[in-house]
Amino acid sequence: MENGSSRSAADIVIPVHDQFSRTRTLLEGIYRHSDLPFHMYVIDNASRDETVDLAKIYTRNITVVRNREDVGWCAAVNQGIRLGSNPYIVFMHNNVEVDQGWLGNLVTFLETHPRIGAVGPLGSDPRDWQCADRVREKMVPQIPRFLTEDLHERNTVLKYHFHRAGILVEGMLAFFCAALKRRAVEAVGDLDEALARGGDSEDYCRRLRKAGYVLGLSLDTYVVQHPPARRRPLLEAGERHQFRKAGAARLKEKHADYR
């Protein structure tokens, strides 16, 4: 799909750090399965593998920015937001695989009401509340139990039951794949670069709500989430506790209702 001034075009922001094969799988999927105009902004946080050659491999509807150091996921997303101008912005992790119609599904539900600011898909990671199995158990028992691991077949089943349908959610959206209205992002501002991944989405979703927006979950869109690669040595138990404690303290400082 060509990038341009289309009112349905999206800027897809993908921070990356190494993991070339996964990034390539994601990019190929976006090219093959996107049903709306888009432009990708791949923000390379000082990769040392074949990722450095992305700009030579892909030249259509893509801008690759190479940072000399790893500035973090939030800072990379903020770079991509500022580079684009399309009416929709998609935050992506590079360990995701998408299927046919994923972008149109998210944007269509995003536009069902002017106060919906962000929409996410069902995912495969059992640790996320957006995991299809957990959503079925806790919120939408009508989601059928999958009899196949195939990504396309799972989306075909969901499309049959929930074509262009979704639900509003009271919790947060995980930013492994989330479509947002640019006007909502402009109203809320940049992601907080001092927050670690996980806390960033919690913070941003709270800020969207305070700005008067609501969040949605697309029930006809399913993406695969591959386990993320470890980018730093495992922390000791005490360090992990302090890391989580510092993040929670910052969220509590910013949001009086944070628990």
The percent of residues in the chain predicted with pLDDT above 70, rounded, is 85
pLDDT in tens, 155-191: 999 999 999 999 999 989 999 999 999 999 999 999 9
∠ CA(241), CA(247), CA(248), 5° rounding?
Answer: 85
Question: What is the mean pLDDT of the segment spanning 216-221?
Answer: 98
Q: Cα separation of 1 and 38, whole Å? A: 6
- For residue 200, pLDDT over 80 is answered with yes
Q: What distances in angstroms separate CA 223 from CA 102, 123, 127, 195, 248, one per listed residue?
A: 8, 5, 14, 25, 29
Give me the torsion for CA of 192, 195, 196, 200, rounded to 10°. -50
pLDDT in tens, 105-114: 999 999 999 9
- For residue 236, pLDDT over 70 is answered with no
Read off the pLDDT band of 150 (50, 70, 90).
very high
Question: What is the mean pLDDT of the segment spanning 222-242?
Answer: 64
Q: Which residues pair with 105 in a beta bridge?
A: none
pLDDT at residue 233, as a whole number: 46
Mean pLDDT, all residues of the chain: 90
What fold characterizes domain 10-254?
A: Spore Coat Polysaccharide Biosynthesis Protein SpsA; Chain A (3.90.550)
The percent of residues in the chain predicted with pLDDT above 90, rounded, is 81
Q: Cα separation of 106 and 176, whole Å? A: 14
pLDDT at residue 7, as a whole number: 79
Question: What is the mean pLDDT of the segment spanning 11-33?
Answer: 97
With 0-12 / 13-18 / 19 or more C-beta atoms within 10 angstroms meaning exposed / middle / buried, residue 42 is buried
- For residue 240, pLDDT over 70 is answered with no
Q: Cα separation of 11 and 20, whole Å? A: 21
Q: Cα separation of 60 and 1, whole Å? A: 9
pLDDT in tens, 56-87: 999 999 999 999 999 999 999 999 999 999 99
> What is the domain partition of the chain in residue ranges?
10-254
Q: What distances in angstroms separate CA 234 from CA 46, 231, 237, 239, one per listed residue?
A: 21, 9, 9, 9
Read off the pLDDT band of 199 (50, 70, 90).
confident
Closest to 39 in 3D by CA, of 87, 75, 72: 87
Structure tokens belonging to residue 42: 């791949």
Structure tokens belonging to residue 156: 């075909």
- For residue 251, pLDDT over 70 is answered with no
pLDDT in tens, 115-135: 999 999 999 999 999 999 999
> Which amino acid is it at 221?
T
